Amino acid sequence: MERQVVSTDKAPKAIGPYSQAIRVGDFVFCAGQAGLDPATGKLVAGGIEAETRRVLQNLAAALEAAGSSLSQVVKTTVFLTNLDDFKTMNTIYAEFFPAAPPARSTVQVSRLPAGASVEIEAIAIVNR
């Protein structure tokens, strides 16, 4: 199977030696996204709510560039620097996955790049 690098200017540029997403066959593997504004590369203001929204918008952009969408996500992993933010993150997350949400793991981590409070990675299938 061919491995295709996915890149879009509608999501933040990678801040290290990794791709925004990789498409292999009918699967898309998205790198973890933080709440970075694609235009500025800076963390959005507004705390966990604003960051979670931006993260999911960034994931949606990467998935679209790969020929998929949030509705095709089968698994996510959420990284939070503070599990006290779980309820707020979960409320925003539910807005983006209103029906048949993907499988998910959520873990607390000590730090995230760019001072982010939340990062989410995703695996999706390609739209058919």
pLDDT in tens, 81-106: 999 999 999 999 999 999 999 999 99
Give the burial class of 95: count Cβ atoms within 10 A of its Cβ; 0-12 exposed, 13-18 middle, 19 or more buried.
exposed
Closest CA to 22 of 43, 38, 1: 1
Residue range 3-125 forms a domain whose CATH class is alpha beta
Closest CA to 59 of 127, 126, 124, 128: 124
Global pTM value: 0.96
Residue 53 contacts by C-beta under 8 Å, 6 or more apart in sequence?
35, 92
Q: Give the pLDDT of residue 15.
A: 85
pLDDT at residue 128 tops 70: no
pLDDT in tens, 37-80: 999 999 999 999 999 999 999 999 999 999 999 999 999 999 99
